[in-house]
């Protein structure tokens, strides 16, 4: 089936594998490298679609498993599909729910046919197959859908990883066979844990299926950071240069810079909103724990180098007060700042590639960021 997306690399960094590109979808154009705010339940926690638009978000991610469980696909269908349901006009990527299903280790049973599991919400039994997951994502109407994959936990057991690779390739072929939605792109997923040989095998077998985009899955699942970086550096350049490359579930500003250097184009992670709700901000000088008592009467913004709404209008001491009083506005302002920070960092990364000085930008950012958390 002809791909519903168009991907064009517009500039490559002369000293690394970093690149900038335009990813064109049915609901708009995405500049890459990009960060996708995570809207698990069809909402990015504490933030409105208008917030996301004004901070420059171009695409959001939503979760197939969670929406299937609640409110149910038929409800979303009756309310006009996922874009209409959540009031977001731009592109949406839906993950397959593989990570969520496999995190239910005590509540599920897996075979080559599919997964039978008990809902984390009400305990009801459900059965998902590669085919049914495609049907769900087609009904949701996302611009980019992901194949159903087996995401194993961190392990050095090659037999466990080999089984996950085999099953993911099998399910990927079945998913592609039934995918029919012409304005939705289906991405393949490369598994294999921290085993380079299995990663290469998974990659070769997945490339044979010829997807319009590819993701590295099964990272940020408990492995040492250096192991994740090794996989990213060694596998990413093997992915097709003319198609988008997506690193799933990663991560932090330093992770982004490392992966962009390797040639990654797309990222998602819950860290900006999760950290925000827990009272921690990402700044150019590292993590800032706003909840700390020393900020009780602190003047000045969360980050002096940030021009987001929260930083331009509120003191740290006020935001700390909101957090400790458990006021929703505190969670909103920190989440707003963190997501803005991630999106703004991606803009700066793209500009550095455009100017041909990505590696020097990366070095300067890392030096400041790693100076220490406060």
Known catalytic residues are 95, 268
Instruction: Note whether 144 and 213 are within 8 A (CB).
Output: yes
Q: Residue 325 and residue 331: Cα distance in Å, rounded? A: 11
For residue 360, which phi and psi values (nearest 5 degrees)? Answer: -70, -35
Peptide bond into 71 cis (omega under 30): yes
Tokens of residue 344, six digits: 């703004």
Tokens of residue 222, six digits: 């408990």
Residue 107 exposed, middle or buried by CB count within 10 Å (0-12, 13-18, 19+)? middle
Residue 209 exposed, middle or buried by CB count within 10 Å (0-12, 13-18, 19+)? middle
Q: Which of 193, 263, 247 is nearest to 201 (CA)?
A: 193
């Amino acid at each position: 089936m002809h791909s519903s997306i168009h991907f064009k690399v517009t500039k490559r960094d002369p000293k690394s594998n970093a690149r900038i590109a335009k990813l064109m979808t049915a609901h708009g154009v995405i500049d890459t490298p990009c960060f996708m705010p995570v809207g698990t339940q069809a909402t990015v926690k504490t933030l409105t679609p208008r917030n996301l638009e004004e901070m420059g978000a171009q695409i959001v991610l939503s979760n197939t498993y969670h929406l299937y469980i609640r409110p149910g696909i038929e409800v979303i269908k009756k309310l006009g599909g996922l874009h209409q349901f959540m009031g977001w006009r731009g592109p949406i990527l839906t993950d397959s729910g593989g990570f969520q299903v496999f995190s239910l280790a005590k509540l599920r049973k897996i075979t080559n046919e599919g997964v039978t599991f008990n809902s984390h919400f009400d305990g009801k039994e459900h059965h998902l197959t590669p085919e049914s997951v495609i049907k769900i994502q087609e009904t949701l109407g996302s611009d980019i859908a992901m194949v159903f994959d087996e995401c194993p936990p961190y392990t050095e057991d090659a037999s466990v990883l080999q089984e996950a690779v085999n099953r993911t390739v099998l399910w990927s072929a079945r998913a592609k066979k039934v995918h029919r939605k012409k304005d939705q792109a289906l991405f393949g997923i490369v598994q294999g844990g921290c085993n380079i040989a299995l990663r290469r095998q998974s990659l070769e077998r997945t490339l044979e299926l010829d997807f319009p985009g590819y993701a590295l899955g099964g990272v940020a699942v408990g492995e040492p950071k250096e192991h994740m970086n090794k996989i990213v550096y060694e596998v990413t350049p093997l992915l097709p240069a003319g198609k988008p490359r997506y690193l799933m579930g990663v991560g932090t500003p330093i992770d982004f810079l490392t992966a962009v250097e390797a040639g990654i184009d797309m990222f998602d992670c819950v860290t900006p909103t999760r950290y925000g709700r827990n009272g921690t901000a990402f700044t150019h000088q590292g993590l800032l724990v706003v909840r700390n008592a020393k900020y009780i009467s602190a003047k000045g913004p969360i980050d002096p180098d940030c021009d987001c709404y929260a930083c331009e209008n509120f003191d740290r001491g006020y935001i700390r007060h909101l957090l400790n009083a458990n006021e929703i506005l505190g969670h909103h302002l920190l989440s707003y700042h963190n997501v803005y920070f991630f999106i703004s960092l991606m803009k700066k990364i793209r500009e550095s590639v455009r100017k041909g000085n990505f590696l020097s930008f990366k070095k300067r950012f890392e030096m400041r960021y790693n100076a220490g958390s406060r």
